[in-house]
Structure 1
């Protein structure tokens, strides 16, 4: 049976929402009078969906949503907002709420809104169950030295992880940032052999030289080779360039405060911060990035 938790400090409003939802025989409806009580009840009642007022004492609706996104992201959230709370409702929707119902429209639209959100949640869970049974997904790509292609590659990876792992927006962006840095390093420093020292001295000269080499031999013929291996628990990204490589041990320590604002080594710092493991081959022209799936 589907469980719905209704959270509202107004007894009248809470009973109205509960009464409407309880008319559906396949739904079990429970109540909480504030955000703190709601958080305490979650482990006990295991709700599929929370219908919550935005304006609550203690933990308000927005804070309740933020807490759920961190620890119970699978639970859908439908917001109830009084007139004048529209801007907060928009912020909550951007944070991850499933839908929004103005309080004045609760009698006419709440049940149908909840029905649509539950259908979406159930479909997402079915897809997640299917992806958990995936054995292994392998993809290979060969790319030219084109920044637009590299950015498209990063977005593709993010989409794949969102689809396969239901990865949230923050984790997708962190993963995408690490991959972008690895791809850009393969192009600029690997294939085009433009040094970070030049970028540190003169940004315009760095990009001008890169553009010149991108359209000239022998650099124009060099490619970036990508292989991805994805299973339900781990993602592996192998990125290799046609350059002569470098000594990975020559990189400065990017965590040294003196190096944090320098372009040299910044990409490697981000890769190591956002991935679980980053390793280079002995010649330095191939990097392998791994990240494990964090299941909520």
Structure 2
């Protein structure tokens, strides 16, 4: 049964929406009138969010961003008034799926919501299918381009969410809804995994392939990034690549065969659930030569800070002998025992 969340501070407007949609089959309408009630409603994500563009304590773009961050498969439809063009455009850029002018609610709202129901149902089906992954392995050959770092991190985080945050055991796969108790990585873990991978990729692109010294960033940050843009267009820097291997398994060692065997799936999570490998084509370096980033005098310096975060957030972070490749390993907790 599709659930529609109506976010509007005016009770009369919420009631108007409910009246216009009352005859839609099997649609449940829920309401939120302010920021707190809206965020609370996202704890049990609806199928569609229909929101006013202006609320007393949160604006339309912020509503969209919150939905995209917490439940990215939920489409957001804006209700807008004339004269709010800039705000509407900002909300659409933030990820809103559609909009309806308030003056046209009677003629357009029902059709728009019906379209979004189709989208939402299909997205949920795709999400359920994605969460049936037992193991994922991606190999990427990336250019020396800082703009590719963000999309790569988002891909890795999505793999973790699909594979390492799943129902506790294969029994849940036969049910229409997922078990409320999950295994795998907590939200904090997933955030830290993303940060660690981003730092590893940043090191590979800037320090490895572009051969930039982070000490320069401490003294002249503008020059550091200007030189990065220049080198990205010049040989040999522009011809270098970054090799990425992203491997995530529901349980057991993600790089061993048989991770999707039923006997393996029935066991509690054990061993590394995640292994990332990042290799650049630079000259490499000696990790032992870095100054201690935990020293108070070095803590706020860019030099070595990224490696400190990587080593702190991952269970293992090991370089090859040349120093141009790093392997990151993270173990998921089991039985809902996440921090």
**TM-score normalised according to structure 1 size:** 0.68
- Asked whether the 8 Å contact 2:42–2:67 carries over to 1, the reply is no
Question: Are 1:182 and 2:203 matched, yes or no?
Answer: yes
Structure 1 residues 137 and 69: alpha-carbon distance in aligned structure 2, compared to 1, 3 A threshold: closer
Question: Paired residue for 2:247?
Answer: 229
Aligned residue runs from structure 1 range 154-165, under 5 A: 154=149, 157-158=152-153, 160-161=155-156, 164=159
Pair member with larger Rg: 1
Residues 1:120 and 1:88: Cα distance change in structure 2 (over 3 Å): same
Q: Is the 8 A contact 2:144 2:241 kept in 1?
A: no
Matching of residues 114-263 of structure 1 within 5 Å: 114-140=113-139, 147-148=144-145, 152=148, 154=149, 157-158=152-153, 160-161=155-156, 164=159, 177-184=198-205, 185-189=207-211, 215=236, 225-231=243-249, 235-240=274-279, 245-254=284-293, 258-259=297-298
Q: Aligned pair in 2 of structure 1 residues 261, 76: CA closer, same or farther (>3 Å)?
A: same
Pick from 298, 308, 317 the counterpart of residue 279 of structure 1.
317
Distance 2:86 2:331 in 1: 36
Is the 1:80–1:101 Cα contact (8 Å) retained in structure 2? yes
Q: Could you say which structure has the higher helix fraction?
A: 1
Q: Is the 8 A contact 1:254 1:269 kept in 2?
A: yes
> Is the partner of 1:17 in helix, strand or coil?
helix
- Secondary structure of the equivalent of 1:23? coil
Distance in 2 (alpha carbons) for counterparts of 1:260 and 1:56: 41
Gap runs ≥5 in structure 2:
163-190, 252-272, 333-337
Cα offset for 1:238?
Answer: 0.9
In the alignment, the residues of structure 2 paired with residue 71 and residue 54 of structure 1 have an alpha-carbon distance, to the nearest angstrom, of: 19
Q: Matches of 1:221 and 1:107 in 2, distance apart?
A: 57
Is 1:30 matched with 2:30?
yes
RMSD: 4.6
Q: Distance in 2 between matches of 1:280 and 1:61?
A: 44
Residues 51 and 60 of structure 2 are in contact (CA less than 8 Å); yes or no, is this contact kept in structure 1? yes
